[in-house]
Structure 1
Amino acid sequence: MENAIYIDSLSKEFKLYASRPGLKGAFRDLFTRNYHTKVAVDSIGFSVKQGEMVGYIGENGAGKSTTIKMLTGILTPTSGKIIVNGMNPHKDREKFVNTIGVVFGQRSQLWWDIAVQESFQLLKKVYKVSDKEYEEHMGHVIETLDIGPLLNKPVRKLSLGQRMRCELAAALVHNPPLLFLDEPTIGLDVLVKLKIRNFLKEINEKFNTTILLTTHDLSDIEALCQRVIMLDEGRVIYDGALQQLKESSDDKKELQFHFLEDINVPELEQLTIDIGVVWRKGGTMKEFIALVPAKDEKIAELIGRIVTAYKVRDMKVRETTTEEIIRNIYEKGNVVQV
């Protein structure tokens, strides 16, 4: 399987102007300016196979959007190598853009004051899509995204959810083999998100479309991507399977016990002192929560001891979410080793 994306030692630096404080500083700035260099992307490297759906995640300012802009040819790298769909995005610009689709959640590629279908027709001409190809492909896209009733409306009259579905359709007018999605579900309600996720899964299965997804909504990542690339301060700190990230993190599982009898925390701590359990009081008098290392043998041992020693009315197991795992990684500042 060939690579849709290949980058090696990719870096991007920005030269930023720093103003001096006060009136005297402003006067000095007229003659000499202070500059400093900001490294947005710091010598990163990874590859994405054709047909993969990869989540590209990180905090604000981590370098995600800068990477996307370099991969799409909007920005020129300071150094490093980029090959996307077998081409250099900056040197083969005109040919290259015909092989990608891009959706930026906070920017529009649709014309604001004209009907949606007119924007589609303009894009059809830009990408030189034949009438037959357009009808076959876009007919399915329009039906699946349920945007038929929106085609005659100006873009400015659409809600955010309606516009994002139309933006996604616009990115697929030429049925590109590679799709870049930068915050495509930002601000959308649950039903619209679900519709977009199902559609992305469908085009990936039907056309083997490669998708690189950048988002802060980790439920999108969990629903669509088996692999994640995590960025922090311009560097890749994790690249691998989402499930492996969960398993490798030193998180704990939360077990909630509702007892039929009166119990106190010291009793529970004495019973489980050698397992490494942290106990705390729950929301009701007979409810207690145990934080236990996320290892099967520890969890099994805890449950066995509790149900043997006490009468339990109910028990729930809550796994640490992907969002919590990733937040813990950033808070600790650790590179994930897997």
Structure 2
Amino acid sequence: MKQVIEVNDLRKEFKSYSSRSGLKGAFRDLFTRNYKIIPAVKDISFQVSQGEMVGYIGENGAGKSTSIKMLTGILTPTSGTVRVNGMDPHREREKFVRSIGVVFGQRSQLWWDIAVQESFRLLKKVYNVPDETYRQHMNHVIESLDIAPLLDKPVRKLSLGQRMRCELAAALLHNPSLLFLDEPTIGLDVLVKLKIRNFLKEINEKYQTTVLLTTHDLSDIEALCDRVIMLDEGQIIYDGLLAHLRSTWGEGKQIEFQFSDMDISREKLDLLFVDIEAEWTKGNRANVWVANVVNQEEVISEVIGRVVAAHKISDIKIHEISTEEIIRNIYEEGKVHG
């Protein structure tokens, strides 16, 4: 399988300057400044094959944006090597950018005051896309993303959901083999998210488009990606199948109880389970508590039986532990799994 992204021992360091206190310190800063080296990305290595859809996740400050900027040629690595589509993203920038598409949820590549279709025509010229290729490909993109009614509108008059669909169309105008998506569904409603997800699946199947998706919305990852790369403090702590992550760390159930009693507390619930491991958390509704237990029928039955026998219950639900919960537990408990 062709490797679209090859990253080896990639590192990025930044200088952080600190000011001395007082007038004397400020004067000394004019001539010599104190600084320390802060590593944002610490010697990471990974490969992405053609046609893969990979979730690139981590907490704020984990190094996601810094590494994405190196992969797209915006930043130069301190050390290590990056090859994307067989090119060095920074040194071969002009040729390289013609082979990728980028959507940043916080930045626009469309011109604010002109109609969407005029932005598309300008980008067509920038990427030197032939007329017939542009017509066939963009007709499909426009129809799939349902943006035909938006083409005559200035970008500034579009809602966030409308603009993000147009941003995605613009990124795919030259039919790139690799697509970088940074928070593409941030702030969008459920229907728009669903439309974007379905479209991304379609282009992946039709063109074998490789997608690297950075997002805090793990439902996007679950809907689109089989593989996840997880970063923490500039290092990769997990690189593998999402299903394997769930099976390794998600072997549990969550039993949600809605109590009729008003005075339920964690202490009262813990007293029922001195001999069974059941971790209780407060639900986000009144009188709701959630028991986190191992996925064993006898344990689940025993927990439900004891609670029902001791307290009046108005509702019970049993859930699989969510991907979001699993990942939060990994970060909170400092579990590292390669």
1:267 shift after superposition: 11
Task: Give the aligned partner of residue 214 of structure 1.
Answer: 214
Structure 2 Cα separation of the partners of residues 124 and 319 of structure 1: 47
Structure 2 Cα separation of the partners of residues 247 and 222 of structure 1: 14
Conserved? CA contact 1:41–1:233, under 8 Å: yes
* Alignment map for 1:60-139 (pairs within 5 Å): 60-139=60-139
Conserved? CA contact 1:9–1:43, under 8 Å: yes
Structure 2 Cα separation of the partners of residues 289 and 128 of structure 1: 57
Task: Give the aligned partner of residue 299 of structure 2.
Answer: 302
Structure 1 segments unaligned to the other structure (5+ residues): none
AA at the equivalent of 1:331 = E
- Which moves more between the two structures, 314-323 or 154-163? 314-323
- Which moves more between the two structures, 150-159 or 41-50? 150-159
1:320 shift after superposition: 2.0
Task: Give the aligned partner of residue 8 of structure 1.
Answer: 8
Task: Give the aligned partner of residue 333 of structure 2.
Answer: 332
Conserved? CA contact 1:71–1:84, under 8 Å: yes
1:250 shift after superposition: 6.3
Conserved? CA contact 1:19–1:33, under 8 Å: yes
Task: Give the aligned partner of residue 20 of structure 2.
Answer: 20
Describe the SS at the equivalent of 1:167.
helix
AA at the equivalent of 1:55 = G
Describe the SS at the equivalent of 1:180.
strand
Task: Give the aligned partner of residue 174 of structure 1.
Answer: 174
Conserved? CA contact 1:57–1:216, under 8 Å: yes
1:302 shift after superposition: 2.5
Matched, 1:41 2:41: yes
1:226 shift after superposition: 1.1
Q: Deviations over 1:230-279 (max 9, x none)?
A: 0011100010111211221266422246899xxx9999979866542356
Describe the SS at the equivalent of 1:88.
coil
AA at the equivalent of 2:43 = S
Structure 2 Cα separation of the partners of residues 278 and 62 of structure 1: 28
Percent identity over the alignment?
Answer: 68
AA at the equivalent of 2:96 = F
Greater than 6 Å deviation, 4+ residue runs? 264-272, 279-285, 306-314
TM-score by length of 1: 0.88
Structure 1 Cα separation of the partners of residues 281 and 328 of structure 2: 22
- Which moves more between the two structures, 97-106 or 241-250? 241-250
Structure 1 residues 78 and 314, CA, compared in 2 at 3 Å: closer, same or farther?
same
AA at the equivalent of 2:60 = N
Structure 1 residues 23 and 153, CA, compared in 2 at 3 Å: closer, same or farther?
farther
AA at the equivalent of 1:291 = N
Structure 2 Cα separation of the partners of residues 132 and 86 of structure 1: 28
Describe the SS at the equivalent of 1:5.
strand
Structure 2 Cα separation of the partners of residues 266 and 92 of structure 1: 62
AA at the equivalent of 2:72 = T
- Which moves more between the two structures, 42-51 or 74-83? 74-83
Describe the SS at the equivalent of 2:5.
strand
1:316 shift after superposition: 2.1
- Which moves more between the two structures, 63-72 or 322-331? 322-331
Conserved? CA contact 1:105–1:164, under 8 Å: yes
Structure 2 segments unaligned to the other structure (5+ residues): none
Structure 2 Cα separation of the partners of residues 38 and 129 of structure 1: 42
Structure 1 residues 268 and 167, CA, compared in 2 at 3 Å: closer, same or farther?
closer
Matched, 1:140 2:143: no
1:170 shift after superposition: 0.5
Q: Compute the RMSD of aligned alpha carbons.
A: 2.9
* Alignment map for 1:308-323 (pairs within 5 Å): 315-323=316-324
Task: Give the aligned partner of residue 32 of structure 1.
Answer: 32
Conserved? CA contact 1:251–1:325, under 8 Å: no
Structure 1 residues 8 and 185, CA, compared in 2 at 3 Å: closer, same or farther?
same
Describe the SS at the equivalent of 1:48.
strand
1:172 shift after superposition: 0.5
Tell me the number of residue pairs that the alignment of Structure 1 and Structure 2 aligns. Answer: 330
Describe the SS at the equivalent of 1:77.
coil
Conserved? CA contact 2:250–2:321, under 8 Å: no
Structure 1 Cα separation of the partners of residues 33 and 100 of structure 2: 40
Conserved? CA contact 1:272–1:302, under 8 Å: no
